[in-house]
Amino acid sequence: MKEFFYLFLFMLHFTEGCDLDQNTQRVDVTGHLGESVVLPCSCTELQAKPPQLTWTFTSLKHTTKPEEIYPNQRSERHRDRVKLLNESSPGNLSLHISNLNTEDQGEYHCSVLHQPHINITLSVQGCHLSDHGKRKEVSGYTGGSVLLPCSCTDPQTTVKFTWLLLNGSHRNEVFKNEIYKGRLKLFNESNPANLSLLISDLRKEDEGTYRCEISPTYPDITVKIKGCDLDQNTQRVDVTGHSGESVVLPCSCTELQAKPPQLTWTFTSLNHTTEPEEIYPNQQSERHRDRVKLLNESSPGNLSLHISNLNTEDQGEYHCSVLHQPHINITLSVQE
Ligand SMILES: *[C@@H]1O[C@H](CO)[C@@H](O)[C@H](O)[C@H]1NC(C)=O
Ligand SMILES: *[C@@H]1O[C@H](CO)[C@@H](O)[C@H](O)[C@H]1NC(C)=O
Ligand SMILES: *[C@@H]1O[C@H](CO)[C@@H](O)[C@H](O)[C@H]1NC(C)=O
Ligand SMILES: *[C@@H]1O[C@H](CO)[C@@H](O)[C@H](O)[C@H]1NC(C)=O
Ligand SMILES: *[C@@H]1O[C@H](CO)[C@@H](O)[C@H](O)[C@H]1NC(C)=O
Ligand SMILES: *[C@@H]1O[C@H](CO)[C@@H](O)[C@H](O)[C@H]1NC(C)=O
Ligand SMILES: *[C@@H]1O[C@H](CO)[C@@H](O)[C@H](O)[C@H]1NC(C)=O
Ligand SMILES: *[C@@H]1O[C@H](CO)[C@@H](O)[C@H](O)[C@H]1NC(C)=O
Ligand SMILES: *[C@@H]1O[C@H](CO)[C@@H](O)[C@H](O)[C@H]1NC(C)=O
Ligand SMILES: *[C@@H]1O[C@H](CO)[C@@H](O)[C@H](O)[C@H]1NC(C)=O
């Protein structure tokens, strides 16, 4: 009876030993940058506890000797990022690696005493952010454009990404937002690793913080937009011209590169017998027809009005106005 009991114990011990599951002898595992991965390894008996388990790592380029990463870490490389998944089953020797980076690529060997190791090749995919991403603020002018930089170092990278405008807790995808319609351009067609976004025909409302949403997270980019503030130093100006000659009525944005929203020039005759009438961009009467033009070719923010072939009837008040701002008031007198 006693002999049977010991035989039973012996057999129990024997069957409970850990044989590495060699079905998984050569395995390729793919992970993604910044994410976690599980390298599979187990005893055929999941309740068996293995003798002397070790995990070793050899870098992809074989530039390093195989180094132990579990249970001891020989280098800083995997420090605090590896753990075993054997809590519920002592024979599950799978290794969990968190916060993956491209340097984690290589061969991983799961070994227990006196048995051929399991050989796992890990590759890590995803966008390895380039240094271009250090730029966290870009600025543009109304009517102009800005390039929001976002790119991966590896030109072969293919990643899923999108651009967000951070607006409170709201997930605001710029490509789904009507206000950007026809104003966005990507460059990933010619270069899949270039995820940069060009926003053109800028408006003041485009200002904000943008995120190139990939994994791992790209630093957010703050976009500042310089709009047109009328230069109020010239709020009241007297200008004198001469009959038959030309004159320039000065008006400008403080930022000469900014394009103003809804510029209008209006005219009120000297004797105030007429209502103020628009003379730019539309002419309400024949009075200034073909004699006014803007001088904004080189600087969109130079709103000065050029009037040619002056006559005394041009005398009066000229108002330069842009949306939501006090107008500039210029009094023109014309000498014979
Ligand atoms: C998990 O494996 C380690 C190393 O082999 C061992 O020290 C530990 O006791 C195991 N945990 C369980 C729950 O078996
Ligand atoms: C080992 O544990 C991991 C995580 O819980 C699990 O995904 C895996 O399937 C287990 N392996 C086996 C052979 O049960
Ligand atoms: C591990 O597997 C890789 C790819 O399958 C192979 O190139 C390499 O020689 C193997 N290493 C060992 C030590 O078996
Ligand atoms: C940002 O959120 C506010 C309030 O939710 C909303 O009024 C505004 O239109 C949003 N801006 C954009 C650009 O979607
Ligand atoms: C460029 O990126 C956008 C947004 O992720 C995607 O919809 C599009 O298919 C990509 N184009 C190419 C050529 O990869
Ligand atoms: C992405 O494309 C834009 C437009 O061609 C270019 O200005 C920018 O430099 C590119 N970025 C990278 C990192 O190649
Ligand atoms: C000059 O101003 C007009 C009216 O605001 C605008 O339509 C035009 O595009 C501007 N020209 C330039 C070069 O900015
Ligand atoms: C606007 O343009 C006119 C004509 O070129 C020039 O005389 C004037 O100085 C400019 N205004 C500003 C503020 O640059
Ligand atoms: C008032 O001025 C306008 C233009 O300067 C001129 O056409 C009109 O005849 C003037 N009216 C009177 C009553 O002087
Ligand atoms: C414009 O300026 C003139 C002379 O400086 C002044 O008489 C007139 O009241 C001003 N008009 C407005 C609307 O500010």
Identify the residue whose C-alpha is closest to ligand 9 atom 13.
273
Last residue of a domain, one of 211, 226, 241: 226
Q: Same domain for 94 and 168?
A: no
Structural domain harbouring 164: 135-226
Q: Same domain for 67 and 101?
A: yes
- 194 in ligand 6 pocket by Cβ < 6 Å? yes
Domain presence at residue 9:
no
Residue type, 218: Y
Say what the pLDDT of residue 9 is: 45
Domain presence at residue 113:
yes
199: CB partners within 8 A, 6+ apart: 140, 145, 146, 148, 174, 180, 183, 184, 206, 223
- 196 in ligand 6 pocket by Cβ < 6 Å? yes
- 313 in ligand 9 pocket by Cβ < 6 Å? yes
Domain presence at residue 212:
yes
Domain presence at residue 10:
no
Q: Same domain for 164 and 189?
A: yes
Ligand closest to the CA atom of residue 317: 10
Identify the residue whose C-alpha is closest to ligand 6 atom 3.
187
Domain presence at residue 5:
no
Q: Same domain for 212 and 247?
A: no
Q: Same domain for 30 and 83?
A: yes
What token pair was written down for 334?
A: 């014309």
Say what the pLDDT of residue 12 is: 46
Q: Same domain for 159 and 173?
A: yes
- 331 in ligand 10 pocket by Cβ < 6 Å? yes
The CATH number of residue 182's host domain is 2.60.40.10
Say what the pLDDT of residue 134 is: 64
Identify the residue whose C-alpha is closest to ligand 10 atom 13.
329
Domain presence at residue 4:
no
Last residue of a domain, one of 226, 242, 263: 226
Domain presence at residue 92:
yes
Say what the pLDDT of residue 275 is: 85
Say what the pLDDT of residue 327 is: 93
Q: Same domain for 321 and 305?
A: yes
156: CB partners within 8 A, 6+ apart: 192, 193
> In terms of DSSP bridges, do strands 118-125 and 221-226 run parallel, antiparallel, or are they unpaired?
unpaired
pTM score above 0.85 = no
Q: Cα–Cα distance between 315 and 267 in angstroms, integer?
A: 9
Which residue numbers in the chain have pLDDT < 70? 1-16, 24-25, 131-135, 215-218, 234-235
Identify the residue whose C-alpha is closest to ligand 3 atom 13.
119
Say what the pLDDT of residue 167 is: 78
Q: Cα–Cα distance between 43 and 213 in angstroms, integer?
A: 40
Q: Same domain for 51 and 119?
A: yes
Q: Same domain for 85 and 185?
A: no
Last residue of a domain, one of 96, 125, 154: 125
Alpha-carbon separation of residue 237 from 164, 165, 264 (angstroms): 46, 42, 17
Residue type, 87: E
Q: Same domain for 105 and 148?
A: no
Please tell me the total count of domains within the chain.
3
If you measure from the C-alpha of residue 329 to the centroid of ligand 7, how many angstroms do you get, rounded to a whole number?
A: 21
Length of the chain measured in residues: 336
Q: Same domain for 146 and 221?
A: yes
Q: Same domain for 251 and 214?
A: no
Domain presence at residue 130:
no
